[in-house]
Amino acid sequence: MMEKMIFGRYIPGDSILHRLDPRAKLLFVFGFICIVFLANNLYTYGLLLLFVGIIILLSKMNIKFLINGLKPVLYLVIFTFFLQLFFNKEGEIILSVGVINIYEEGLRQGIFISMRFMLLVFVTSLLTLTTTPITLTDGLESILHPLNKVRFPVHELALMMSISLRFIPTLMDETDKIMKAQMARGVEFSSGPIKERVKAIIPLLIPLFVSSFKRAEELATAMEARGYRGGEGRTKYRILEWKIRDTAAVGSLIVLVVLLILFRS
Protein backbone atom coordinates (compact mmCIF):
# COMPACT_ATOMS: atom_id res chain seq x y z
CA MET A 1 0.00 0.00 0.00
CA MET A 2 2.83 2.40 0.79
CA GLU A 3 4.12 2.45 -2.78
CA LYS A 4 0.64 3.46 -4.03
CA MET A 5 0.35 6.59 -1.91
CA ILE A 6 0.18 9.66 -4.12
CA PHE A 7 0.34 12.50 -1.59
CA GLY A 8 3.51 14.49 -2.26
CA ARG A 9 4.12 12.89 -5.65
CA TYR A 10 4.23 14.79 -8.94
CA ILE A 11 2.72 13.23 -12.06
CA PRO A 12 3.96 14.93 -15.30
CA GLY A 13 1.19 15.99 -17.66
CA ASP A 14 -0.13 18.67 -19.98
CA SER A 15 -3.51 19.43 -18.43
CA ILE A 16 -4.89 22.87 -17.65
CA LEU A 17 -4.04 22.32 -13.99
CA HIS A 18 -0.43 21.49 -14.86
CA ARG A 19 -0.12 24.76 -16.81
CA LEU A 20 -1.58 26.98 -14.10
CA ASP A 21 0.70 29.34 -12.21
CA PRO A 22 1.66 27.77 -8.84
CA ARG A 23 0.55 30.94 -7.07
CA ALA A 24 -2.93 30.56 -8.56
CA LYS A 25 -3.08 26.92 -7.45
CA LEU A 26 -1.95 27.77 -3.93
CA LEU A 27 -4.47 30.61 -3.60
CA PHE A 28 -7.15 28.32 -5.02
CA VAL A 29 -6.42 25.57 -2.47
CA PHE A 30 -6.25 28.00 0.47
CA GLY A 31 -9.53 29.59 -0.67
CA PHE A 32 -11.25 26.23 -1.16
CA ILE A 33 -10.25 25.11 2.35
CA CYS A 34 -12.15 28.13 3.72
CA ILE A 35 -15.08 27.90 1.31
CA VAL A 36 -15.84 24.22 1.96
CA PHE A 37 -17.12 25.12 5.45
CA LEU A 38 -19.96 27.15 3.89
CA ALA A 39 -21.70 23.93 2.83
CA ASN A 40 -24.39 22.79 5.24
CA ASN A 41 -26.94 20.74 3.25
CA LEU A 42 -27.22 18.20 0.44
CA TYR A 43 -27.47 20.87 -2.26
CA THR A 44 -24.32 22.70 -1.22
CA TYR A 45 -22.32 19.48 -0.78
CA GLY A 46 -23.60 18.28 -4.16
CA LEU A 47 -22.38 21.54 -5.65
CA LEU A 48 -18.95 21.02 -4.08
CA LEU A 49 -18.81 17.44 -5.40
CA LEU A 50 -19.63 18.67 -8.90
CA PHE A 51 -17.01 21.42 -8.62
CA VAL A 52 -14.27 19.01 -7.49
CA GLY A 53 -15.34 16.51 -10.14
CA ILE A 54 -14.79 19.16 -12.83
CA ILE A 55 -11.34 19.90 -11.38
CA ILE A 56 -10.42 16.20 -11.53
CA LEU A 57 -11.55 16.06 -15.17
CA LEU A 58 -9.46 19.13 -15.99
CA SER A 59 -6.43 17.54 -14.32
CA LYS A 60 -6.81 14.46 -16.60
CA MET A 61 -6.17 12.23 -13.59
CA ASN A 62 -7.79 8.81 -13.42
CA ILE A 63 -10.31 8.76 -10.58
CA LYS A 64 -9.45 5.13 -9.79
CA PHE A 65 -5.79 6.10 -9.53
CA LEU A 66 -6.68 8.89 -7.08
CA ILE A 67 -8.89 6.66 -4.92
CA ASN A 68 -6.31 3.83 -4.81
CA GLY A 69 -3.59 6.31 -3.85
CA LEU A 70 -5.71 7.78 -1.07
CA LYS A 71 -6.86 4.49 0.50
CA PRO A 72 -5.04 5.15 3.82
CA VAL A 73 -6.96 8.43 4.06
CA LEU A 74 -10.22 6.67 3.19
CA TYR A 75 -9.84 4.54 6.31
CA LEU A 76 -9.53 7.73 8.37
CA VAL A 77 -12.64 9.15 6.65
CA ILE A 78 -14.61 5.99 7.48
CA PHE A 79 -13.42 6.19 11.10
CA THR A 80 -14.57 9.83 11.26
CA PHE A 81 -17.97 8.86 9.87
CA PHE A 82 -18.55 6.16 12.49
CA LEU A 83 -17.26 8.45 15.23
CA GLN A 84 -20.01 10.96 14.41
CA LEU A 85 -22.56 8.21 13.84
CA PHE A 86 -22.18 6.62 17.28
CA PHE A 87 -21.29 9.58 19.49
CA ASN A 88 -23.50 12.39 18.16
CA LYS A 89 -26.71 12.26 20.21
CA GLU A 90 -28.64 15.12 18.61
CA GLY A 91 -31.93 14.77 16.77
CA GLU A 92 -34.36 11.84 16.65
CA ILE A 93 -33.36 8.19 16.93
CA ILE A 94 -33.56 6.55 13.50
CA LEU A 95 -32.12 3.15 14.44
CA SER A 96 -31.72 1.32 17.73
CA VAL A 97 -29.82 -1.97 18.07
CA GLY A 98 -29.32 -3.05 21.68
CA VAL A 99 -27.36 -0.34 23.48
CA ILE A 100 -26.40 1.36 20.19
CA ASN A 101 -28.62 4.26 19.13
CA ILE A 102 -28.11 6.09 15.85
CA TYR A 103 -29.46 9.63 15.78
CA GLU A 104 -30.55 11.66 12.78
CA GLU A 105 -28.04 14.44 13.36
CA GLY A 106 -25.23 11.91 13.91
CA LEU A 107 -25.88 10.34 10.51
CA ARG A 108 -26.16 13.74 8.87
CA GLN A 109 -22.97 15.11 10.41
CA GLY A 110 -21.12 11.87 9.70
CA ILE A 111 -21.93 12.08 6.00
CA PHE A 112 -21.21 15.80 5.71
CA ILE A 113 -17.93 15.78 7.66
CA SER A 114 -16.69 12.74 5.74
CA MET A 115 -17.54 14.41 2.42
CA ARG A 116 -15.83 17.61 3.52
CA PHE A 117 -12.72 15.68 4.53
CA MET A 118 -12.59 13.81 1.20
CA LEU A 119 -13.09 16.96 -0.86
CA LEU A 120 -10.20 18.67 0.93
CA VAL A 121 -7.97 15.62 0.45
CA PHE A 122 -8.73 15.43 -3.28
CA VAL A 123 -8.07 19.13 -3.90
CA THR A 124 -4.83 19.26 -1.89
CA SER A 125 -3.61 16.04 -3.52
CA LEU A 126 -4.23 17.49 -6.99
CA LEU A 127 -2.03 20.44 -6.00
CA THR A 128 1.01 18.22 -5.45
CA LEU A 129 0.15 15.87 -8.34
CA THR A 130 0.14 18.71 -10.87
CA THR A 131 2.92 20.91 -9.43
CA THR A 132 6.60 20.13 -9.08
CA PRO A 133 8.10 20.74 -5.60
CA ILE A 134 10.47 23.38 -7.00
CA THR A 135 7.64 25.28 -8.70
CA LEU A 136 5.54 24.99 -5.56
CA THR A 137 8.41 26.51 -3.57
CA ASP A 138 8.68 29.44 -5.99
CA GLY A 139 4.93 30.05 -5.81
CA LEU A 140 4.79 29.95 -2.02
CA GLU A 141 7.82 32.21 -1.72
CA SER A 142 6.24 34.70 -4.13
CA ILE A 143 2.95 34.78 -2.19
CA LEU A 144 4.72 35.29 1.15
CA HIS A 145 7.27 37.77 -0.24
CA PRO A 146 5.69 40.83 1.51
CA LEU A 147 6.58 39.23 4.87
CA ASN A 148 10.25 39.82 4.08
CA LYS A 149 9.72 43.41 5.19
CA VAL A 150 9.23 42.21 8.77
CA ARG A 151 12.29 39.91 8.50
CA PHE A 152 10.21 36.73 8.22
CA PRO A 153 12.34 33.88 6.72
CA VAL A 154 10.07 33.37 3.69
CA HIS A 155 12.64 31.60 1.51
CA GLU A 156 13.68 29.19 4.23
CA LEU A 157 10.05 28.37 5.11
CA ALA A 158 9.18 27.71 1.46
CA LEU A 159 12.28 25.54 1.07
CA MET A 160 11.45 23.47 4.16
CA MET A 161 7.90 22.87 2.96
CA SER A 162 9.14 21.90 -0.49
CA ILE A 163 11.67 19.44 0.92
CA SER A 164 9.01 17.97 3.23
CA LEU A 165 6.62 17.39 0.32
CA ARG A 166 9.41 16.00 -1.83
CA PHE A 167 10.46 13.42 0.75
CA ILE A 168 6.98 12.16 1.68
CA PRO A 169 6.87 9.65 -1.23
CA THR A 170 10.54 8.82 -0.65
CA LEU A 171 9.88 7.94 2.99
CA MET A 172 6.82 5.92 1.98
CA ASP A 173 8.93 3.92 -0.47
CA GLU A 174 11.58 3.44 2.20
CA THR A 175 8.94 2.27 4.67
CA ASP A 176 7.60 -0.24 2.16
CA LYS A 177 11.09 -1.65 1.56
CA ILE A 178 11.75 -2.03 5.30
CA MET A 179 8.36 -3.69 5.83
CA LYS A 180 9.04 -6.21 3.08
CA ALA A 181 12.48 -6.92 4.54
CA GLN A 182 10.97 -7.45 8.00
CA MET A 183 8.20 -9.66 6.60
CA ALA A 184 10.82 -11.79 4.84
CA ARG A 185 12.31 -12.37 8.31
CA GLY A 186 8.96 -13.55 9.68
CA VAL A 187 7.51 -10.33 11.14
CA GLU A 188 3.70 -10.06 10.86
CA PHE A 189 2.23 -6.56 10.39
CA SER A 190 -1.31 -7.47 9.37
CA SER A 191 -2.21 -10.43 11.57
CA GLY A 192 -2.07 -11.50 15.19
CA PRO A 193 -3.04 -9.65 18.40
CA ILE A 194 -2.92 -5.84 18.42
CA LYS A 195 -0.20 -5.91 21.10
CA GLU A 196 2.03 -7.99 18.82
CA ARG A 197 1.38 -5.68 15.86
CA VAL A 198 2.41 -2.66 17.93
CA LYS A 199 5.62 -4.43 18.95
CA ALA A 200 6.31 -5.24 15.28
CA ILE A 201 6.26 -1.51 14.43
CA ILE A 202 9.33 -0.78 16.61
CA PRO A 203 11.78 -2.68 14.34
CA LEU A 204 10.21 -0.69 11.48
CA LEU A 205 10.58 2.76 13.04
CA ILE A 206 14.23 2.50 14.09
CA PRO A 207 15.72 1.85 10.62
CA LEU A 208 13.29 4.40 9.15
CA PHE A 209 14.53 7.13 11.51
CA VAL A 210 18.16 6.17 10.84
CA SER A 211 17.54 6.33 7.09
CA SER A 212 15.76 9.70 7.41
CA PHE A 213 18.62 11.28 9.39
CA LYS A 214 21.11 9.91 6.89
CA ARG A 215 19.18 11.41 3.98
CA ALA A 216 18.92 14.76 5.79
CA GLU A 217 22.67 14.82 6.40
CA GLU A 218 23.41 13.96 2.76
CA LEU A 219 21.03 16.68 1.59
CA ALA A 220 22.63 19.29 3.86
CA THR A 221 26.10 18.30 2.63
CA ALA A 222 24.98 18.53 -1.00
CA MET A 223 23.45 21.99 -0.46
CA GLU A 224 26.63 23.27 1.22
CA ALA A 225 28.79 21.82 -1.57
CA ARG A 226 26.72 23.78 -4.09
CA GLY A 227 27.18 27.02 -2.18
CA TYR A 228 23.71 27.40 -0.71
CA ARG A 229 23.61 30.29 1.74
CA GLY A 230 19.91 31.12 2.05
CA GLY A 231 17.61 33.21 -0.12
CA GLU A 232 19.36 36.57 0.15
CA GLY A 233 20.73 37.74 -3.18
CA ARG A 234 19.52 34.67 -5.09
CA THR A 235 18.13 35.04 -8.61
CA LYS A 236 15.41 32.93 -10.25
CA TYR A 237 15.94 30.64 -13.22
CA ARG A 238 12.17 30.12 -13.61
CA ILE A 239 10.11 33.31 -13.92
CA LEU A 240 6.47 32.91 -12.90
CA GLU A 241 3.89 34.44 -15.26
CA TRP A 242 0.32 35.17 -14.20
CA LYS A 243 -2.08 34.62 -17.12
CA ILE A 244 -5.80 34.91 -17.81
CA ARG A 245 -6.40 31.25 -16.98
CA ASP A 246 -4.92 31.84 -13.52
CA THR A 247 -7.33 34.72 -12.89
CA ALA A 248 -10.19 32.52 -14.12
CA ALA A 249 -9.16 29.70 -11.74
CA VAL A 250 -9.14 31.99 -8.69
CA GLY A 251 -12.28 33.78 -9.92
CA SER A 252 -14.17 30.47 -10.06
CA LEU A 253 -13.99 30.42 -6.27
CA ILE A 254 -15.99 33.66 -6.14
CA VAL A 255 -18.69 32.06 -8.29
CA LEU A 256 -18.65 29.02 -6.01
CA VAL A 257 -19.06 31.19 -2.90
CA VAL A 258 -22.07 32.97 -4.41
CA LEU A 259 -23.73 29.67 -5.33
CA LEU A 260 -23.06 28.16 -1.90
CA ILE A 261 -24.59 31.18 -0.16
CA LEU A 262 -27.66 30.96 -2.42
CA PHE A 263 -28.18 27.26 -1.71
CA ARG A 264 -27.44 27.37 2.02
CA SER A 265 -30.36 26.43 4.25
Indicate whether 93 belongs to any domain.
Answer: yes
CA atoms of 235 and 237, how far apart (whole Å): 7
Quote the CA–CA distance of 65 and 74 in Å, as a whole number: 13
What is the per-residue pLDDT for 1?
A: 47
Q: How many helices (H) and strands (E) does the chain have?
A: 10, 2
Residue 91 in any domain: the answer is yes
- Domain of residue 106 covers 2-131+238-263
- H/E stretch holding 109 reads helix 104-129
pLDDT of the residue at 159: 79
**What is the chain's alpha carbon radius of gyration, rounded to the nearest angstrom?**
22
- Contact between 63 and 56 (Cβ < 8 Å): yes
Is 170 among the domain residues? no
Contact 73, 102 (CB under 8 A): no
Angstrom distance (rounded) from CA 57 to CA 49: 12
Q: Which amino acid belongs to residue 231?
A: G
146 lies in some domain = no
Is the residue at 190 inside a domain? Answer: no
| Percentage above 90 pLDDT, the chain | 15
Domain-embedded: residue 45: yes
The parts of the chain modelled with pLDDT lower than 70 are: 1-8, 187-198, 200, 230-236, 265
Residue type, 241: E
Total structural domains within the chain: 1
pTM, entire model: 0.75
The reply to whether 110 falls in a domain is yes
For 17-152, strand residue ranges (E) read 93-97, 100-103
Is residue 83 a part of any domain in this protein?
Answer: yes
